[in-house]
Structure formats: structure tokens, C-alpha cells
Amino acid sequence: MKVARYILKNAEEAPLRSVFDVAEASSVSVASVSRFVRRVGFSDFRAFKVELAKDTTSRMPEIYRAITPGDSGEEIVRKVFRGYMQSIEDTLKIADLHALDRVSRILSQTGRILFFGIGGSAIVAQDAALRFSHLDIQAEAHSDPLGIVLQAKRLKKGEVAFGISHSGRTKIVCEALKLAQEKGALTCALTNYMKAPLSAHAQYLFCTSFPEDRVKVAALSSRIAQLCVIDALYLLAAKHREHIWDIESLNRLVERFLRLG
């Protein structure tokens, strides 16, 4: 009851707190908080925090709700921008900062990273591969189903497979992580739904929080929040990596190749 009262009174703040913070604020033990989240139907405190953060966004004002045929051009633009802004803020609320740092250290030392994604997630995968290539790491993005399977089967222990799927239900990406895990590679996933099938094959799971039921527009997805997670991993990995390319000299080289005369 003490934990429940604290959560109800601090619903906006609780997703930002650790299990130790909540236990202290509620004047109970960490074990009591863990028992509470299991009693209300969650496997652990992090899963509870994710759903709590998403639930608190349901109180968003009218501007975040679904785009309607009667909306003016100005209203549509505001809803799109505010939807993305809310997605980024909510994703930060549920981000596991310790896991981000742990994975970034692994990424900084690995010899090869494969990013898998199809559709809109393929664009994020390509961007991720390009970023990590800047760190002189063999980073590749694969979106063709056959290529995904073939490359997943070639992974080795010490290498990394990173699946990206907004729904977390893209079968080929799930199968790729499963194959990679069987080969001994580290598996990571980025999705909008913690309990999606993709989570079953990921040793590290990162979640975005995109309120789709409130901002509906063609091709609108959680890709901005996904890119924020990727950028965080990239910059953390750059911090931990001993050797990276001279970016300025790399830019000058690219400039030479792009323009004649």
C-alpha cells in the first residue's frame, strides 16, 4: 500500500526513479517494491516503469491527439512536432541508462556489428551502421530478408547483432536475432513494445515510447526516438573506444571524392 500510494501521488516522477529511490521514498525495502510490481502483473520494476511512463502520456492535452480531416495546416504541423517531442521525452523517461553504457562499451570493442531492419526500420539501421563505421568498426545494415539470414548465420562469438523493429513483431528480424544468439553473438533490440516477440531473442532490449494512438499520419513512426537511442549508443561508444578515425580528415577525403575540379 505504501508503494501504491507513492506511485499514485508521483506518477509523472516515478518512471524517472530507480527501484532504490522508490523504496526509500515509500519507506519500504527494495524487495517490497519488487513484490508490488509482480503483484500488479509485471515481471520486474523496469517493465512496470515503461508502462507507467506510457500511461502518464494519456493525460496529454488536445494537441497530441489524432490528426483529423478537419485540422488546419497549422494544427497538423504542431501535432507532428509535438508528437515527436513527446516521444523523445517519454523515451528518455524509460531509458535504461546503465544498459546503454554497458552495451556501448561492448560495441566499442567488438569487431563487427550487424543492424537488421526492414521498412522504416531499415533507414534507422543504415544510419546506425554509418555512425559506427565512423569509429573504425565494421558496421553493416541489412534489410533484404535473404541477406539478413545469411549474415546472421555468419556471426561469431564477440560480434553483435542489433535488431530494429518498431512493432517488435517483424518475423525476419526476430529470426535473425535467434540465429545470431545460437552463433554466440551478443543480441540487442530496439522496439516500441517491451513484451513484443523480439524481446525473447535480445540480451539487451531498448524501448522507445511513441504515442501512436494520438498522432496518426502516413509514415509517422518512432524513428526519431530510435535515432536518439542509436546516437546515445554511438557517442558513448566513441567515448569508450581507444582508437577512432580523424573525422576532419575523413570529411576532407569525402569532399574530394564528391566534387570534381
pLDDT for 1-42, tens place per residue?
Answer: 998 888 888 877 777 677 888 888 889 998 898 899 888 888
Count Cβ atoms below 10 Å from residue 70 Cβ, excluding itself.
6
Residue of higher predicted confidence among 51 and 250:
51
What does the mean pLDDT of the chain come to?
Answer: 85
Low-confidence winner among 52-61, 150-159, 200-209 (lowest mean pLDDT)? 52-61
> Would the pLDDT of 216 be above 50?
no
pLDDT at 41: 85
CA distance 82 to 67: 12
Domains and CATH numbers, the chain: 2-58 (1.10.10.10), 94-240 (3.40.50.10490)
Residue of higher predicted confidence among 217 and 128:
128
Q: How far apart, in Å, are the Cα atoms of 110 and each of 227, 234, 252? A: 21, 13, 27
Residue 220's nearest CA partner among 17, 36, 49, 79 is: 79
pLDDT at 214: 44
pLDDT tens digits along 84-94: 888 888 888 88
- Quote the pTM value: 0.73
Instruction: Categorize the per-residue pLDDT at 203 as very low, low, confident or very high, splitting at 50, 70 and 90.
Output: very high
CA distance 187 to 202: 5
pLDDT tens digits along 95-112: 889 999 999 999 999 999
Instruction: Categorize the per-residue pLDDT at 237 as very low, low, confident or very high, splitting at 50, 70 and 90.
Output: very high
> Would the pLDDT of 130 be above 90?
yes
* Averaged pLDDT, 73-87: 84
pLDDT > 70 fraction of the chain, expressed in percent and rounded: 85
Say if strands 160-164 and 186-191 run parallel, antiparallel, or are unpaired. parallel
Residue of higher predicted confidence among 53 and 118:
118
pLDDT at 77: 86
